[in-house]
Amino acid sequence: MNNYHIVPLKTEDFDFIWCVIETSSRQLIKAYEFEDESEEYCKFLNKGGAFDGWTPSFILQEVVMQSDVNQEFKSFLSE
């Protein structure tokens, strides 16, 4: 049994994106524009790369930034 698999999703313009999904948690790990790239990454993961089928959910959660640190740094330097 593979810990990761690929799911093609149709976009609004009738193209596809290729999503690498962790089988056990059904989490989206990464999406690609090209099928061969998604297959290569999926093969890497199934051979034990990364977390070997048990990606912690907190790693995949988006971090919401309160402010743009880069912009603050630029404005600090320009003063």
pLDDT tens digits for range 27-73: 899 999 999 999 999 999 988 887 766 777 777 777 777 777 778 88
pTM of the full structure: 0.63
Map tokens 């990364």 to a residue.
Answer: 50
- Partners of 4 in the β-ladder: 22
Number of C-beta neighbours around residue 76 at 10 A:
8
Alpha-carbon span 78 to 35, nearest angstrom? 45
